[in-house]
Amino acid sequence: MELTKRPRRLRMDGRVRDMIRETRISKKSLIYPIFVEEGEKVIREIETMPGQKRYSPDTLPYALEEAAKAGIQNIMFFGIPKHKDECGSQAYHDHGIIQEAMRVAKKAVPELLYIGDVCMCEYTSHGHCGIIKGDSVDNDKTLPLLAKTAVSQVAAGADMVAPSDMMDGRVAAIRKALDEAGYIDTPIMSYAAKYASAFYGPFRDAAGSDNFKGNRKTYQMDWHNRREALKEVDTDLEEGADIIMVKPALSYMDIIRETRDRVNVPVAAYSVSGEYAMIKAAGAQGMIDEKAIIAETTTSIYRAGAEILFNYFAK
């Protein structure tokens, strides 16, 4: 039999495989999440996320220098305050934990890009992402506080803000507030398609959200739905989002691909705490080749269409 097509020809030589590779990953596209808590001399291992730690502002420069040395250029801060209340006031306090972390970071390692997570779940006594009214989150009363949080983070030094609350209209409210405060050049990376996922479990330990009761299904997305994600993406773009994010990543690569095919802005994905914890646990048991799995799963997310990746394995 005469074969006219032999795809294997391009697989026979490693140099050729490297040359024609379709998906390429740049460390410049990685974002490394760091947890910062109020206090002093804190470098605390996160039990459910082996290898990840909490830092206080005074020890934060160590984490930033370590990340920079590894080639990381982009950092996302999550804050853990000492004081929590019904309205999450520490989220938008001028000297809140994220705001102080931004000031320290900009002074210690100014060459990195710093992103502030804009949400209230780590700051509220009930653990929800906004103001509670009855048995639900009051969407419209939450919006001004999210906007205030974003402005306070940028005033403290944030280069970008990333609202993760999933309130309707939050991108528009934040864009308006930033523009009015003179921050017209500050980009918004929207958690546009954020699902109510079981993969977030270890994050609650990391972010001190173990006070949380109930669920977030009235505002985060039902993981059975696909078209709804595209509606959220369209809405956030109309409201002024500069970058669109899908979260989680591994179980939502169909959503990443559909989003990439639909929009003309950068698409980010967040490989979340549960994804990280599963790989670490299986690796620790010798069940998998951890480094090989990290490489394969990361590449698969980029192959699906992401150009930016939040990843606890970034270093």
φ and ψ at residue 184, rounded to 5 degrees? -70, -20
247 is catalytic: yes
Whether 213 is catalytic:
no
Catalytic one of 84, 148, 247, 280: 247
As a whole number of angstroms, the distance between CA 219 and CA 127 comes to 14
**Residues 226, 227, 233, 236, CA torsion sign:** negative
Q: Which of 84, 148, 194, 280 is the catalytic position? A: 194
Report the DSSP pairing between strands 53-55 and 74-80.
unpaired
The two structure tokens encoding residue 179: 């523009």
Pairwise CA distance, residues 48 & 55, whole Å? 16
- Per-residue CA distances from 54 to 77, 209, 310 (Å): 11, 14, 17
Task: State both tokens at 177.
Answer: 């507030």
**Using CA atoms, how far apart are residues 94 and 120, in angstroms rounded to an integer?**
15
What amino acid occupies position 43?
I
The residues assigned a catalytic role are 194, 247
